[in-house]
């Protein structure tokens, strides 16, 4: 298999962008075999996504079944996403040395073990442990994008990335509803049984259809010192953001975690400068191929995720300062449409990216997401205007932005470390989402019309910064902007 960075380009496409075409494109998959590979990887990412979305509505029941309060259910999700943040860059980079198929099977094996533990867990701490193991499956997304790039012809790569990215927001919002229904009728453990069966099917298909072997052009061995220091940095950063929002940014614990965050990142930087085969070389972190991609992801997630999944959720259900809707109607109007629209918009965005340029689609998605955020902030008192703005985010955020940023993370990753940037970028999703929520939470928690409007304007400011940073993202080789 070859690295995902293209080597040659076809003549410029209409509109000025060049279509990226690898040297050996003719030897790659298309047609029925490409469809089989995409479907197989789709099963893998569904195993992770259903673990994330179907469990959410069951959290109160899980806590109650162990005789705990609803607050005690928080680690069930936080540990799941923390494991994902660590596993993405570490296992993604490790796959450069052990092969994509082996890495995918390893990830699904760990998730399967965690799922069995969740099914049988007699105590909440054991279930949380199982959730941490399940969270490792987040690495499937980055691995799937890399497999697609290395094995599919360029003409179908963009659409395939869009198909995988479409699952990032759930299955049109239906999965969360089904998860709640299963928890109410069959018990929360039935969700984990479904996930376990899906994981087993996905592992079998991956074993049969994903090519084996180590990628060509990769030298050296896994940088475990770099992986360990980066993981430590992500743990400190995650807990700093969480504790700072709860106890105050100047609390002793938050300041200690901030110090740990700074020191662990300094340690990571120091280690990477001295490794012959680093997790990702320091000079790449400073290049326009890497840092703008990571920064755009963090800022866009911080801005838009907070709008869709936090501020508007509270606004729509507040009977005094908001729209006074029930939880189910709120989800039906403000969560389901964006997720459902994204399922169709993401493959279209990938198709357009192949023909008009990946950077162009990224900037288009980020700028129009900004427009949607502005509309929601200006007309925050109007349910219809907010509904339209959130629905349009299904096109420009769930569709265009998520597809373009994931595709670029593969195309811009260093040739000697093709899985490095997709893995680190995957971790940036969780960091950005957490950061956005904690920044707007103090204002949205005021439960007033002014407080919700302020929270939305903060998201606008963050998204505007994301658009500015996206202007620095380098175009993949062979693509003009």
Q: Please say whether the beta carbons of 115 and 192 come within 8 A.
A: yes
For 417, the domain range is: 286-481
pLDDT over 70 at 481, yes or no? no
pLDDT of residue 279: 84
The residues near 454 (Cβ < 8 Å, ≥ 6 apart) are: 443
Task: Please give the structure tokens belonging to residue 402.
Answer: 């998520």
Lowest mean pLDDT among 195-204, 266-275, 277-286: 277-286
- Please indicate, yes or no, if residue 175 is contained in any of the structural domains: yes
- Report the distance separating Cα 293 and Cα 425, nearest Å: 7
User: Do residue 452 and residue 344 come from a single domain?
Assistant: yes
pLDDT of residue 41: 92
pLDDT over 50 at 55, yes or no? yes
User: Do residue 101 and residue 149 come from a single domain?
Assistant: yes
Number of domains in the chain: 3
pLDDT tens digits along 335-362: 788 888 988 899 999 999 988 899 999 9
User: Do residue 188 and residue 58 come from a single domain?
Assistant: yes
pLDDT over 80 at 479, yes or no? no
pLDDT tens digits along 378-391: 999 999 999 999 99
- Please indicate, yes or no, if residue 106 is contained in any of the structural domains: yes
Calculate the average pLDDT of the chain. Answer: 85
User: Do residue 187 and residue 241 come from a single domain?
Assistant: no
State the number of CA atoms in the 13 A half-sphere of 37 facing the CB: 27
Secondary structure class of 4 (helix, strand, coil) = coil
Burial of 46 (0-12, 13-18, 19+ CB in 10 A): buried
Q: What is the pTM of this model?
A: 0.82
pLDDT of residue 153: 80
pLDDT of residue 16: 40
User: Do residue 249 and residue 105 come from a single domain?
Assistant: no
């Amino acid at each position: 298999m070859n690295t995902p960075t293209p080597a040659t380009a076809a003549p410029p496409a209409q509109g000025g962008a060049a279509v990226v075409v690898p040297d050996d494109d003719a030897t790659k998959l298309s047609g029925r075999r490409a469809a089989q590979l995409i479907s197989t990887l789709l099963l893998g990412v569904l195993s992770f996504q259903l673990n994330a979305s179907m469990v959410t509505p069951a959290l109160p029941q899980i806590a109650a079944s162990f005789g705990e309060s609803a607050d005690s259910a928080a680690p069930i999700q936080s540990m799941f996403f923390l494991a994902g943040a660590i596993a993405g860059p570490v296992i993604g980079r490790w796959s450069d040395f052990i092969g994509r198929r082996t890495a995918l099977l390893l990830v699904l094996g760990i998730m399967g073990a965690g799922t069995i533990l969740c099914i049988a867990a007699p105590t909440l701490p054991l279930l949380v442990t199982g959730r941490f193991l399940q969270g490792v499956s987040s690495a499937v997304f980055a691995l799937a994008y890399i497999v697609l790039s290395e094995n599919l012809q360029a003409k179908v790569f963009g659409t395939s990335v869009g198909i995988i990215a479409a699952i990032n927001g759930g299955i049109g919002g239906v999965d969360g509803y089904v998860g709640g229904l299963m928890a109410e009728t069959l018990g929360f453990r039935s969700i984990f049984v479904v996930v376990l069966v899906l994981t087993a099917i996905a592992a079998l298909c991956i074993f049969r259809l994903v090519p084996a072997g180590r990628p060509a052009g990769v030298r050296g061995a896994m940088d475990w010192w770099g992986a360990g220091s980066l993981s430590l940095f992500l743990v400190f950063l995650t807990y700093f953001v969480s504790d700072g929002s709860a106890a105050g940014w100047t609390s002793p614990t938050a300041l200690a975690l901030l110090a740990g965050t700074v020191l662990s990142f300094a340690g990571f930087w120091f280690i990477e400068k001295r490794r012959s085969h680093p997790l990702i070389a320091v000079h790449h972190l400073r290049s326009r191929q890497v840092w703008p991609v990571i920064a755009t992801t963090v800022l866009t997630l911080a801005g838009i995720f907070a709008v869709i999944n936090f501020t508007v959720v509270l606004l729509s259900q507040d009977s005094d300062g908001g729209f006074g809707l029930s939880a189910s109607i709120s989800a039906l109007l403000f969560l389901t449409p964006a997720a459902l629209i994204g399922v169709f918009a993401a493959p279209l965005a990938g198709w357009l990216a192949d023909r008009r340029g990946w950077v162009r689609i990224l900037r288009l998605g980020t700028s129009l997401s900004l427009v949607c955020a502005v509309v929601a902030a200006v007309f925050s008192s109007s349910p219809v205007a907010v509904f339209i703005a959130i629905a349009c985010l299904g096109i420009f955020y769930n569709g265009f932005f998520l597809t373009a940023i994931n595709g670029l993370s593969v195309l811009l990753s260093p040739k000697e470390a093709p899985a490095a940037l997709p893995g680190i970028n995957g971790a940036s999703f969780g960091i950005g989402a957490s950061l956005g929520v904690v920044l707007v939470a103090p204002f949205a928690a005021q439960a007033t019309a002014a407080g919700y409007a302020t929270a939305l304007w903060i998201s606008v400011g963050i998204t505007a910064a994301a658009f500015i940073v996206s202007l620095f993202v380098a175009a993949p080789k062979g693509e003009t902007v």
